Amino acid sequence: MTSHSTKVVDISAIALAVLFGVGSLVFFVGRPLGALSLLHPSWSEASVLGWDALLSGVFFLQHSGMNRQPFRTWLSRSVVPRYHGAIYSIASGVALLLVVAAWQTSGTNVVTLQGWGRLGAQCATIVAFCIFILSAMSLLTFDPLGLGPITARLRNRTFTPTPLVVRGPYRWVRHPLYSCVIVMLWTVPEVTTDRLLFNVLWTAWIVIGTVLEERDLAREFGDGYREYQQRVPMLVPRFVRPNARSLPAHAAE
């Protein structure tokens, strides 16, 4: 492959990853579940919940399966590793768009917060979102689409993976981004049965996925991350003042 054609492939991979990765997230966050449903079947509530659980399962299988080392090893046999992040982002975007487009609502209310309860839930959502942004900014590089290797090649630079650095909210909890997402899931003021199913399934998936991800991180960072695991909780902070001296010297800021 010539240099020009390689550059075209690199740029195309970036464009598709941004289109599907960011585009699907915009639809997912910007619209209530079921608002963009392209299906309007006359199903019973049990059938609706079963369908929604199936959609969630498809997304979980794609998202967690493609993120595991065995799949990456298999993919490396036919695809250059620098494209793995882009392929993952595109596939994740397609899976999330499927959830957004085909999700069915049950119409049965479980909880509807009013007054101070509704205001409190909305404030909690805003706080969680702000901490999410702060957590992302605390990282040396925030590359949710995994495009670092491609952009480094386009700039004729060597891609260097992000080292283990603990600062900001990462001094309180090992996965503040996931913690904030869980809070935002459960602070929705209006909960129907399909939304309750969504909250339960996706919270369980985040917890299980985090445990699996921790195994990969321990293999990647070694003893430094294992010590970090012993000092800092995974998802729920202890609400005590973090102590930099309790963290590994090469992990603390």
* pLDDT score recorded for residue 253: 40
| pLDDT tens digit at each of 253 positions of the chain | 556 678 888 888 889 988 998 888 888 877 777 766 666 777 888 999 999 999 999 999 998 888 777 888 888 888 888 888 888 999 999 999 999 888 998 878 888 989 999 999 999 999 999 999 999 888 877 777 788 888 888 888 877 777 777 888 999 999 999 999 999 999 999 899 999 999 999 999 999 989 988 988 888 888 888 999 999 999 998 766 555 454 544 443 4
pLDDT at 121: 93
Q: So what's the pLDDT on residue 221?
A: 84
Give me the pLDDT at residue 35, please: 67
pLDDT number for residue 239: 65
Q: Where are the domains of the chain?
A: 3-246
**pLDDT in the model for residue 240:** 60
Q: Given this structure, which CATH class describes domain 3-246?
A: mainly alpha
| pLDDT of 179 | 95
* 3-class SS string, the chain: CCHHHHHHHHHHHHHHHHHHHHHHHHHHHHCCCCCCCCCCCCCCHHHHHHHHHHHHHHHHHHHHHCCCHHHHHHHHCCCCHHHHHHHHHHHHHHHHHHHHHHCCCCCCEEEECCHHHHHHHHHHHHHHHHHHHHHHHHCCCCCCCCCHHHHHHHCCCCCCCCCCCECHHHHCCCCHHHHHHHHHHHCCCEEEHHHHHHHHHHHHHHHHHHHHHHHHHHHHHCHHHHHHHHHCCCCCCCCCCCCHHHCCCCCEC
| Residue 63 confidence (pLDDT) | 86
